[in-house]
Structure 1
């Protein structure tokens, strides 16, 4: 079968690889759609970062090279022994986490921050291929009215939904999202799904602002307005009830911390390639805080899929589908250059 194999920094091979066997408690999926994630970009242009290199991952036993892809949906085409509740033909989204189940975080129910966490498609062969084999516990059945394309977006939208909840917002809250990439857009969808009316998206790129505005979002251009002052005006001087950093750059962090209300959180859901200086005085004087957010839970997946089934998510204007053979030029390089926002890879094309 054809697959996108990561061999190191700026080294991808679109090549034929053997299909792995289906073991106990596993299923084989015919991959429908696989999204290219920001993490994939970081691995390609600056890695290996999370992908094991020289030492096998403790849960999967894998290291370089690996088939990429952890944002994907598919159809079950083969079922291994010990699988109950799923049948050939089921359409599913995949929650690609490997976790030990025994560390203190897992036993507390916080398996999304397992001390040995792994991802299907980073620490094992993933979904950027014609087929992939996954444990049954990763599967979430898609309703008939949720397409495989939307199914591939369940993973990044669940990242955003999990972060949105960590802001402890209510329908009466005011929230500000920094960054209008896929996770920023997902945060806007999640916050609106949680009932918030007062949400602002801060984005310097006119193209990205236009994309999220077409979805219905209210935006702020940090190059044209004083964002903390605008947030203060919106909140009668209180500051935002939650701010979300989905940009991962110093100006966004500093502006976010200047916009958050007293005692309220900045939820950080970005990937930071380089250290960022944080003006702690803002946190001290307001008793505000920085809250990290990692991944998702099965409950997050279920919530996102339910909202998708209600028609809450709209992919118009910010996603693009490409063929597997175009994954480097039209996928990784185009995303890195900012020519595209979200690329979905079709392994059958």
Structure 2
């Protein structure tokens, strides 16, 4: 079968590899679509970062590795002991490997597992015609959710988990930095919680127009004084939560000037370099920075329920590229900012 195999920095090869078969407790999936994530871009252009060069403690795998952790497909075979999923089921995959023994795992926060791994980073992933996953990673798609959109459950679950950590309610005001896929997902997640007062801060006109087309309200930090405007709108109180999905220092500095006292800046970004942002505004106003990573099955169930109710609108910002052109039409287009979100079709 064909697969995109990561060997190292800017070394991703389209190869014929053996088709995997499920062992006990495993599920074989014919992949329909696999999303290209910002993490994949970091691995390709700057890595290896997360892909291990020594065997991972949970999967015992290291590079070279088939990429892809955002994917959905059809179950084609199940291993012994698998009873909750069957051949023909359409599924999305929650790609976390966890040890089940450390404190985060035993308290239900396995997204913080001390040995965490990811399918597509620490085990051969979904940027291939077929892949095999543990059955606990599988979520059936509800009726009415198109298989091709199942690959978007993972990034929307990232955003949903971050939105929950913002601890906001339907009368609150929120600020999102970055109108990429996670920023869009945050906007939808906050809307599902009843928020109507949400501003999205984005310097790119293309991205502003994309999220405005969905109904969002935007601010341009290159021409508007965002902290000043927020102070004016809130009579100095600030927003109830800010979310950084941009991953750049100016966004962090601006957000910390916009959140109210004892309110959070939720960081849902990977930073390319250390931040030098002064923390005086945290101290004087008892603000806090809240980290967030991944999701749990609870977030997956919430996103799948919202998808089944047509809460998300993927029109205009999600496109598909063939696996055969994953670098030229995929990675390079995303890095150049010419595309918003790309799904890879492994059959093309």
Other-structure match for 1:147:
146
Instruction: Measure how far apart 1:279 and its partner are.
Output: 1.7
Other-structure match for 1:50:
50
List runs of 5+ in structure 2 lacking aligned partners: none
- Distance of 2:278 and 2:186 partners within structure 1: 24
Other-structure match for 1:19:
19
- TM-score normalised by length of structure 1: 0.99
Q: SS state of the match for residue 243, structure 1?
A: strand
Q: 4+ residue runs of structure 1 moved beyond 3 angstroms?
A: none
Residues 121-160 of structure 1 correspond to what in structure 2 (within 5 A)? 121-160=120-159
Other-structure match for 1:343:
342
Other-structure match for 2:63:
64
- Distance of 1:106 and 1:278 partners within structure 2: 33
Residues 62-141 of structure 1 correspond to what in structure 2 (within 5 A)? 62-141=61-140
Paired positions, count = 348
Q: Does 1:308 align with 2:307?
A: yes
Other-structure match for 1:290:
289
- Distance of 1:230 and 1:170 partners within structure 2: 22
Instruction: Measure how far apart 1:236 and its partner are.
Output: 2.2
Q: SS state of the match for residue 257, structure 2?
A: helix
- Distance of 1:131 and 1:252 partners within structure 2: 39
Instruction: Measure how far apart 1:278 and its partner are.
Output: 2.1
Instruction: Measure how far apart 1:148 and its partner are.
Output: 1.7
- Distance of 1:19 and 1:338 partners within structure 2: 34
Instruction: Measure how far apart 1:206 and its partner are.
Output: 0.2
Instruction: Measure how far apart 1:86 and its partner are.
Output: 1.1
List runs of 5+ in structure 1 lacking aligned partners: none
- Distance of 1:84 and 1:135 partners within structure 2: 12
- Distance of 2:138 and 2:20 partners within structure 1: 18
Other-structure match for 2:207:
208
Other-structure match for 2:320:
321
- TM-score normalised by length of structure 2: 0.99
What CA deviation, in whole Å up to 9, does each residue of 1:170-190 have, x standing for no partner? 001100000001000000010
Is contact 2:246-2:269 (8 Å) kept?
yes
Q: CA RMSD in A?
A: 0.7
- Distance of 1:250 and 1:279 partners within structure 2: 11
- Distance of 2:305 and 2:234 partners within structure 1: 31
Other-structure match for 1:234:
233
Q: SS state of the match for residue 199, structure 1?
A: strand
- Distance of 1:231 and 1:182 partners within structure 2: 24
Other-structure match for 1:269:
268
Q: Does 1:33 align with 2:33?
A: yes
What CA deviation, in whole Å up to 9, does each residue of 1:303-335 have, x standing for no partner? 000000100111111111011001000101110
